[in-house]
Structure 1
Amino acid sequence: MTQIRKLRVAAYAVVVDEGRILLSRWLGPDRPMWILPGGGLEHGEDPYDAVVREVFEETGYHAAVDALLGIQTVHGPLDRDGEEWDYHRIRVLYEAHVVGGELTFEVDGSTDQAAWFALDEIPEEHVESVDYALELWRKRPADGRAPSFT
């Protein structure tokens, strides 16, 4: 069987305000999971522009980027509807803050809700990139890699 090689580059925002984090609910293949607002880059798009666009699409908020926190790379097999992928995900992780807009849910997209959660009450049903990004946000490692995940 020929294995499909797939590369996905995406940009995500860690938006924390008054001890709360903004998350989107991703409609994943198995079940809905909470994720950072963000998503895949369009061809030719800068990650900085992509994260601003994606935050707005998924949450209704206009965001300003404050800092590049780091980059997460995940590589390994993935089964997609019986097809085996050699899947490489690169996630560009930014710190951002809300500068306008109002909480709105994405329609006909990869997410269906957005919500603020206390940092100590993040739902159990979240993807591991939330933990990775929060470690970057808290520890600010100079190399942009979360120590617990390396």
Structure 2
Amino acid sequence: MSFRLAAYAVCIHNNQILLTRYVTPTGDTHWTLPGGQVEHAEDPYDTVTRELTEETGCTGHVDHLLGVDSRVIPAAEAIRGSEHHNVGIFYQVRITAGTPRPEPDGATTDPAWTPLPQVSRLRRSSLVDIGLALATTRPANGHVAPVPTGGLIQH
């Protein structure tokens, strides 16, 4: 089983959320939140702003810790074909500067401000739904119910 600790930015402004298009190793794409793996000895708080800038060209300020999501993706559904455990730390981040641009030589492209009502019609990572649920409900325990995958919602 592989393991990944990651930090994700939930950037909501004017009833829009900032999303990026993720390109899988097989060439498939889906929308996701800016964010990524916490590097060795890196604070997740620093990870989220670093990843935001790398993936979108925008800089941001962390306003709130929203919560943590832990999920195990079965081998049959995992991108790399082996069971994978992902722990995601979600932050509400306010964009302070920059205009969205693609990640140079990265796995994400097309960062875009997406109207919230349009999100449910996108092929997207479950991370998007988790981030939105945390941002809208602000649970005191920092945890929301698992998001089922299938259809437009991917791991």
Same fold (TM over 0.5): yes
Task: Evaluate the alpha carbon distance shift between residue 34 and residue 84 of structure 1 in structure 2; reply closer, same or farther with a 3 A threshold.
Answer: closer
* 1:59-98 matches, cutoff 5 A: 59-79=56-76, 84-98=81-95
Letter in structure 2 aligned against 1:128? S
Preserved CA contact (<8 Å) 1:65 1:94 = yes
In the TM superposition, 1:1-150 aligns within 5 A as 5-30=1-26, 31-79=28-76, 84-122=81-119, 123-147=121-145, 149=147
Seq. identity, %: 37
Aligned-partner residue type, residue 75 of structure 1: V
Q: Distance in 2 between matches of 1:144 and 1:65?
A: 16
Q: What is the aligned residue count?
A: 145
Higher share of residues assigned strand? 1
Structure 2 Cα separation of the partners of residues 76 and 112 of structure 1: 24
Q: Alignment partner of 2:54: what SS?
A: helix
Please report the TM-score for the alignment, with normalisation by the length of structure 2.
0.86
CA RMSD of aligned residues (A): 1.9
Distance 2:10 2:71 in 1: 18
Q: CA deviation at 1:84?
A: 4.7
- Counterpart-to-counterpart distance in 2, 1:147 and 1:109: 31
Contact 2:126–2:147 under 8 Å retained in 1:
no
Gapped runs of 5+ residues in structure 1?
Answer: none
Q: Which amino acid in the other structure matches residue 139 of structure 1?
A: T
> Alpha carbons of 1:35 and 1:84: their partners in 2 closer, same or farther (altered >3 Å)?
closer
Structure 1 runs (4+) deviating above 4 angstroms are: none
Q: CA shift at 1:148, angstroms?
A: 6.0
Task: Provide TM-score, normalisation by structure 1.
Answer: 0.89
